[in-house]
Amino acid sequence: MVDKGKISRGQLAFMLYSLMAYDGLLLIPKIAGEKAGRDLWLSPVWSHLTGIMMVLAMLRLSRMFPEESIIVYSKRILGKWLGIAAGFIFVFYAFYLTSVILRIYTDFISSVFLENTPTVVISGGIMFLVAYTARGGVEVLGRLAQLFIPATIVVFVILSILTIPEWELSNALPILGKGPIPSLKGATVPFTWFAGYILLGLYYPLLSDKRKVTLFVMTAWFGEMITLAASGLISVFLFGEYTSTLNYPFIEVVRYIALGEFFQHIDALLLAVWLPGTFIELATYHYATVTGIAEWTGLKNYRALSFTLGFLVLVVSYWGITSDIDFERYLATSHIWFDFSVLVFGLLLFLVAWIRSKLGALKYN
Amino acid sequence: MRKNKSISVLIQLCKRLLPLAALLSLTGCWDSDEVNSLAIVTSAGIDRTKDGAIELILEIVAPQQQQQQSGTGQSSGQKGGKGTTIVRYAIGDTAADAQGRLQWKLPRTIYWGQLQVLVVGEELARDGFREQLDYLVRVNEIRLRVMPFVTHGKALDFFDSHFLLEQTKAGFLQSEAARVFHKPLTLSRLVQRLSSDEDTAVLPFINIPEDRGDRGGEPYIKGYAVFNQGRMVGTLTGNSFLAAKWATNQLKNDVETVNVGNESPARVTYTTLAAKSRLIPIRKNGEWQMNIRIESEINMIQNTSRLPMAEPQNARLLEAAAAEHIREVVTQTVRDTQRMHADIFAFGEAIKRRNPHEWSRLEPQWNRFYPEMDFKVEASVKLRRIGMNSIPLGRQHKERTKP
């Protein structure tokens, strides 16, 4: 590994939680709602129940090579040239996803909060911080995750509790009124997001303690599922089937909160959940890109790459797609296939490793 | 040598300060809004002019008004009779267009974030105001908590109307809604109903007294405006309003009077403490029938009959009379809505919840099915309290104990 730093298992769990929870909170109720109607809160449950195979496969794979990153051991599994190609796929995925998330972040902030601000200021500002964090190494990233994520979870729970007086429980009925098919269709997008767990291949060797990692990773997995299902369910309780018509359902949920005359207009609290969460998510992906490329090219020092790649991410996030509408369409169509191929790639890597180890053809350290 | 060192210290310092520089850009100065530069809208009205254009009326908070009126006397905190808001309006092709035109005339930026109520003129409501609503749900400052109302006559008349008890029209309508309804209707509920399969909705209907001025009284919520396919098709007032609130669990602060027993006078007046209604769809001979089950607890506040309600058998009489009253008005009201082809009680939704498959068969012809639909009202009433006096005033104790 190019980074000598170590992270704890809890920090890893927080980082994995951030990979899905925050974007999901914002986008899943809408994306799933288009297909699933009032069953949209069930979609994350289905996707997580199926996505667990990716999580377990990546954990198993990492445990076969506990001291090496995915860049190194994919060469061991697939042979030199295919292995280098596999390393490239991983690095490209991490790099590209950083830019996609940056774009989601920019679109959200500029359409809801900072309408007149040039978007490059919004995305450039956060990307600078992200690159600075990634440059600091994995320990900085781990500690930041440990610092921010618990606070955001607490605020999210408080926000959810504050909506209780407005719940219209009958909005969620009938559950599975049109059978399980619509909610399963809605589960496709969150399912493909499980491609993100491929990052385990990079972060696993950085763990200081490798016992009972499964438990921690599963906690993150479960936490994601609860967060996404809860945010979907609350949106349905408040807005029924109208949820999927709203561009950002959960921001409307938070805006709807009003306790008495004085406790309202607390939209900024959602930002307090969402901003640190997305920051950690971006940094997790960006750090994976930076160290991944350093390892792939055989550089001794990864720090110099952070700002350069950060700038490239910034550029790529604007590349090609200018309008928000087109980007949203892209997320719901082509991007599904991109994520899905990476998911399949991760599973294939695991299968090859598993079969070769059964045949005794795989050399461990 | 020394110079090099100081430069490297400077570089180190810059490195440390760099993240702070990044923080500065996160504040987003492009979007900075000073309270002093905003025209804060508390209530909005939309209406239709005679030639089909849209009129947008805004009630804007005017914090300076007070100082101007107090004139030279700085210490006098006396409040002007005009209230603390001003009303401005503009006409345009759409609501957003009218807003743009209004903005030309206003020295401050219109800020929608504090919008609390929306008042729709009757004429526009009858024409359908869904197209104008689109603007309000699109603006990113507006919350779905805004309370919509329909006003009798023109929306501008409501904003011109005179009342003294509340400082703003928004505050007035909000407290009015909180007084009349258990859970006041919001924009969220309205858009849900308008985009539901039945496409019907009700909105509170405001009455404006003809004679303006101190004697004429204030505007008040008179009933429900009924919407079908996005257009206002009628109103429910008086007993129908009461019944509609009953069936939709919105009852609050009602007073009702029924006759108990055969002797005259026999009027008993009561208020409802708690009411709960449920829609139970059942299938009878292959056809859907709706059971409206209403349970309520009442508090007797006046008894003009000679029957002491402390006696259980008399209490049963009152309960039966009150239940009969509920049955009567609710049945009448449902008939009225059937005549309007507007399923405002969400019968369709109830069937959908019970049997989603059946509903997909019924849905296309629901507009024809609903007016013909059979329904039954079941009411059960419990007398919970009779106030501070046990037997009717002036009735002899002797008379009561007589066998």
B287 occurs within a structural domain: yes
How many other C-beta atoms can be found within 10 angstroms of the C-beta atom of residue B289?
Answer: 14
> Does some domain include residue A4?
no
Statement to judge: residues B260 and B400 lie in one domain: yes
Q: Which residues share a beta bridge with B377?
A: B292
Q: What is the pLDDT of residue B214?
A: 58
Token pair, residue A273, equals 């959940």
Q: Is any Cβ of chain B less than 8 angstroms from the Cβ of A114?
A: yes
From CA A185, how far away is CA A181, in angstroms rounded? Answer: 6
Write down the pLDDT at residue A148. Answer: 93
**DSSP class of B274:** E
Considering the domain architecture, whether residues B153 and B174 belong to the same structural domain is answered as: yes
What ipTM did this prediction achieve? 0.80
* C-beta atoms of A265 and B113 within 8 A: yes
Q: How far apart are CA A270 and CA A266, in angstroms?
A: 8
**Using the beta-carbon criterion (under 8 Å), do A241 and B26 form an inter-chain contact?**
no
Q: How many domains does chain B divide into? A: 2
| Residue numbers of the domain that contains B44 | 33-69+79-237
Cα distance between residue B207 and residue B151, in whole Å = 6
Check if A271 contacts B (Cβ < 8 Å): no
Q: Is A116 on the interface with B (CB under 8 A)?
A: yes
Chain B CA closest to residue A275: B26
Q: Which residues pair with B281 in a beta bridge?
A: B290
Q: Which residue of chain B is at minimal alpha-carbon distance from A170? A: B353
Q: Judge whether A251 lies within some domain.
A: yes
CB atoms within 10 A of CB A258: 17
Q: Which of B140, B144, B196 sits opposite A112 (nearest CB)?
A: B140
**Same domain as B47, residue B104:** yes
Q: Are residues B283 and B382 in the same domain?
A: yes
Res A182: pLDDT = 87
Kindly list the residues from chain B whose CB atom is less than 8 angstroms away from the CB atom of residue A128: 19, 22
Give domain status of residue A320, yes or no.
yes
Chain A positions touching B31 (Cβ under 8 A) are 113-117
Distance separating alpha carbons of residues A107 and A122, to the nearest angstrom:
9
| Contacts with A119 from chain B: Cβ below 8 Å | none
A241 shares contact with chain B (CB less than 8 Å): yes
Residue whose tokens read 């980074």: A3
What's the CA gap between B367 and B363, in Å, rounded? 8
Structural domain for A304, as ranges: 9-359
* B272 and B154 together in one domain: no
The residue among B237, B270, B294 that closes a domain is B237
Give yes or no: residues B242 and B209 share one domain. no
Domain final residue pick, B237, B263, B291 = B237
Written as one letter, the residue type at B63 is P
**Contacts with A255 from chain B: Cβ below 8 Å:** 143-145
Cβ–Cβ of B145/A117 closer than 8 Å?
no
Q: Is residue A364 part of a domain?
A: no
Does B166 reside within a domain? yes
The confidence score (pLDDT) of residue A92 equals 94
CB contact under 8 A, A122 and B188: no
B232's enclosing H/E stretch is strand B231-237
Q: How far apart are CA B401 and CA A82, in angstroms?
A: 104
Residues with Cβ within 8 Å of A219's Cβ and at least 6 positions away in sequence, in order, are: A13
Residues B64 and B157 reside in one and the same domain: yes
Yes or no, beta carbons of B25 and A238 under 8 Å apart: no
- Clarify whether residues B109 and B137 are in a common domain: yes
The shortest CB-CB distance from A255 to any of B18, B143, B354 is to B143
Say which residue the tokens 């504090």 belong to: B114
Chosen from B15, B31, B345 to mutate, greatest number of chain A CBs within 10 A: B31
Neighbouring C-beta atoms of residue A112, cutoff 10 Å: 18
Q: Are B254 and B311 in contact (CB under 8 A)?
A: no
**Å between A55 CA and nearest CA of chain B:** 35
My answer on whether B253 and B168 are in the same domain is no
Task: Produce one character per residue of B81-115: b if its CB has 16 or more CB atoms within 10 Å, e if not.
Answer: eebbbebbbbbbebbbbbbeebeeeeeeebbbbbb
Euclidean distance between the first and the last CA atom of chain B, given in angstroms as a whole number:
121
Quick one: pLDDT at residue B397?
55
Cβ contact, residue pair A252, B30, below 8 Å = no
Report mean pLDDT in 10-residue bins for chain B, 403 residues: 75 80 65 80 90 89 57 38 75 91 88 89 88 88 89 85 75 86 87 83 85 67 87 87 85 83 80 87 84 89 83 86 89 88 85 84 83 87 84 63 48
Q: Does residue B262 share a domain with residue B133?
A: no
How many domains does chain A fold into? 1
pLDDT recorded at residue A77:
87
The answer to whether the Cβ–Cβ distance between B191 and A242 falls below 8 Å is: yes
The domain that holds B244 is classified in CATH as 3.30.300.210
Q: Give me the CATH number covering residue A159.
A: 1.20.1740.10
Q: Do A132 and B352 touch (CB under 8 A)?
A: no
CB contact under 8 A, A111 and B144: no
**Is residue A3 in a domain?**
no
Q: Report strand pairing: B220-228 vs B231-237.
A: antiparallel
Q: What is the dihedral of CA A57, A60, A61, A66, to 10 degrees?
A: 150
Whether A258 and B353 lie within 8 Å, measured CB to CB: no
Q: Compute the nearest-CA separation of B145 from chain A (Å).
A: 6
pLDDT at position A58, please?
92
- Chain B contact for A255, CB < 8 A? yes
Q: Which residues of chain A have pLDDT under 70?
A: 1, 260, 361-365
**B381 and B270 both lie in a single domain:** yes
What's the confidence (pLDDT) of residue B215?
Answer: 61
The answer to whether residue B16 sits within a structural domain is no
The 10 Å Cβ neighbour count of residue B285 is 6
In-domain check, residue A230: yes
What CA–CA distance (Å, rounded) separates B379 from B274?
13
Contact between B352 and A265 using a beta-carbon 8 Å cutoff: no
User: Tokens 């919970």 belong to which residue?
Assistant: B384
Q: How far, in Å, CA of B193 to CA of B158, rounded?
A: 26
Residue A204 lies in a domain: yes
Residues 176-195 of A with CB under 8 A from B: 177-178
> Is B280 within the bounds of a domain?
yes
How many beta-carbon contacts under 8 Å exist across A and B? 72
Q: Is residue A345 part of a domain?
A: yes
Query: In this complex, do A242 and B26 lie within 8 Å of one another by their Cβ atoms?
Result: no
Residues B262 and B288 in one domain: yes
